[in-house]
Amino acid sequence: MTSKINVSGRTYILGYCIFGAAIDVLLSGLLQSINLFVLLFWTLTLTLTLTLTWLGLFIGLKLTEPSIMVAIIFGLSPIISVLIEIYNRSVIGVKNIVISVLLAFIITLLMILAVKGQRFNPFDSDLLFALALGLVCIVTSICLTTGTYIAKSLSKRAFNAVNVQSFRFPLLICVCYAMLPSEGILATTQSDFWMYLPIIVILGNIPPLWMLQKGIEVTSALTTNIIINISPCITLLLEMFDPSIAYSNMKLSVLLMLLLVMLIANDDTNKFIIGKLRGSL
């Protein structure tokens, strides 16, 4: 028995040495073609924004339905951009102001739906619930917008998806490890949660984020924006597989309104549609 344990232990240690050596060799070759300190700075910033985004999503998804949470986040992004332009005293077009007002109206409708269909309310007041959810969505939207901007900046600096993700996920793991709760809190959590969490983290982070980074590199801004803008509708479709979430025609209507306004707000989309209409005439 002792012999088997020793052999198994030696095998694990040898495996660690082999994998560690392979990673060192691969990283050594990878690092020769990139500006290390620039990459570390931007990927660390990208990781921090990703961490705050996931923290906001975790809280928001606890409070309300996924499609509403996603829709509010996407609707807030253009408004935040306009506010930044106003803060910088840049010239704001009438179109952007009108779009921001329409988005604010749609977000108000979404907040009403969120209050009516709340999944968890830690407060005694619906007003406090709405304020807390609004704050979470604002922070999450800011981080998501910042993360997308950084990802695009990295691609313009000739860092491909492999370069970015090779540093992004180890940094993300370090940040998550630092944020782990105490053992007492871990013990009070359902065991099923810890069984599903690694699957959710792996499938919800590595493949989609790599695909997003790769897509930003090789896809036009028009295609990227159109696909991203339909995310709330895709989320609503997938909600149908969750029996705990009730379908609502009102929610579908508001999400379609949001999609329409977001597409109108995109200049590339407008040019594409006008070009197609002129070509068909």
Give alpha helix (H) positions in the chain.
Answer: 2-31, 36-63, 66-87, 94-116, 126-156, 161-178, 183-187, 191-218, 221-229, 231-239, 249-265, 267-280
Q: What number of residues does the chain have?
A: 281
Give how far Cα 213 sits from Cα of 15, 24, 61, 122, 219, Å.
Answer: 31, 24, 24, 36, 10
Q: How does pLDDT run along the chain (281 residues), one tens digit per residue?
A: 444 444 455 665 566 566 556 655 555 555 445 555 555 565 566 667 667 777 777 788 788 888 888 888 888 888 887 887 787 777 778 888 888 899 999 999 999 998 888 888 888 888 888 898 889 888 888 877 776 666 666 666 665 555 555 555 555 556 555 555 555 554 444 555 555 556 666 666 667 666 766 676 666 655 666 677 777 888 888 888 878 788 888 888 998 888 888 877 776 666 666 666 666 65
Give how far Cα 216 sits from Cα of 72, 146, 162, 240, 271, Å.
Answer: 23, 14, 13, 29, 20
Radius of gyration of the chain, Cα coordinates, nearest whole angstrom: 22
DSSP symbol at 153: H
* Domain parsing of the chain, residue ranges: 51-267
Count CB atoms within 10 A of the CB of residue 261. 20
Please indicate, yes or no, whether the overall pTM of this predicted structure exceeds 0.85.
Answer: no
Of 253, 29, 280, nearest to 163 (Cα)?
A: 29
